Amino acid sequence: MNPLKPTAVSHVKDNLFLEHDLNLYNFIINLNKAIDEKGIKVSKQEKPDFSAISTTPIPFEQFRHRWTNFIDLGTAIEIFTPVYQFFLTDADFWRATNSLQLDEVIGIYAATIMDCPEKLTALNNKHPMIPLPMAGAAFRLLLHGFSTEVLHALLVQAKLEQQRQALLVDVK
């Protein structure tokens, strides 16, 4: 695993997307391997550990105002995808592309641990065993970003609620 915390556009240039995608795959592979080896299953946790979840805004560097800012994100992704593909091996490209479909797996794990299956409605990126064509990659990447934001908001909300409950207990 390679921790990533980009806060500026310049952080993207050193294989950030590839490392992000490989992190997702390796996380799921390692987690499922550990679950299988220990003979356990993902289940509801009464007090999940939210220590890795930040509740403060991320200090992003201000974006530059340039003539290229007229391009919407979807169009930029459609332009970027073939360039991204050109610089990767075929196996790395398909592995990175299919990592978009792991949102549901991660969402199912989170919803199971937190006992909130109703929160899964925003997580639908199809099935990781059935690769989708590259046409429409922007839609899938935007959906991935949206579902990641929904899951992060859910985790932040749960962390804040857990902290509030702990304060109430301390006051009593």
Report pLDDT digits (tens) over 138-157.
777 787 788 888 888 889 99
Interatomic CA distance for residues 132 and 101, integer angstroms? 9
Please report whether residue 96 resides in a domain.
Answer: yes
Report pLDDT digits (tens) over 31-41.
889 999 999 98
* Res. 122 pLDDT band, cuts 50 70 90: low
Question: Average pLDDT for residues 17-33, to the nearest whole number?
Answer: 83
Please report whether residue 92 resides in a domain.
Answer: yes
What pLDDT, on the 0 to 100 scale, is given for residue 60? 85
Please report whether residue 39 resides in a domain.
Answer: no
What pLDDT, on the 0 to 100 scale, is given for residue 144? 78
Question: Average pLDDT for residues 133-141, to the nearest whole number?
Answer: 71
What pLDDT, on the 0 to 100 scale, is given for residue 133? 64
Please report whether residue 75 resides in a domain.
Answer: yes
Report pLDDT digits (tens) over 41-95.
889 999 999 998 989 888 888 888 888 788 888 888 888 888 878 888 888 777 7
Burial class (CB in 10 A: 0-12, 13-18, 19+), 17: middle
Please report whether residue 27 resides in a domain.
Answer: no
Please report whether residue 106 resides in a domain.
Answer: yes
Residues in the chain: 172
The residue among 123, 159, 166, 164 whose CA lies nearest residue 144 is 123
Number of structural domains (the chain) is 1
Please report whether residue 37 resides in a domain.
Answer: no
Please report whether residue 47 resides in a domain.
Answer: no
What pLDDT, on the 0 to 100 scale, is given for residue 156? 93
Higher pLDDT, 124 or 98: 98
Domain of residue 87, residue span: 14-22+68-172
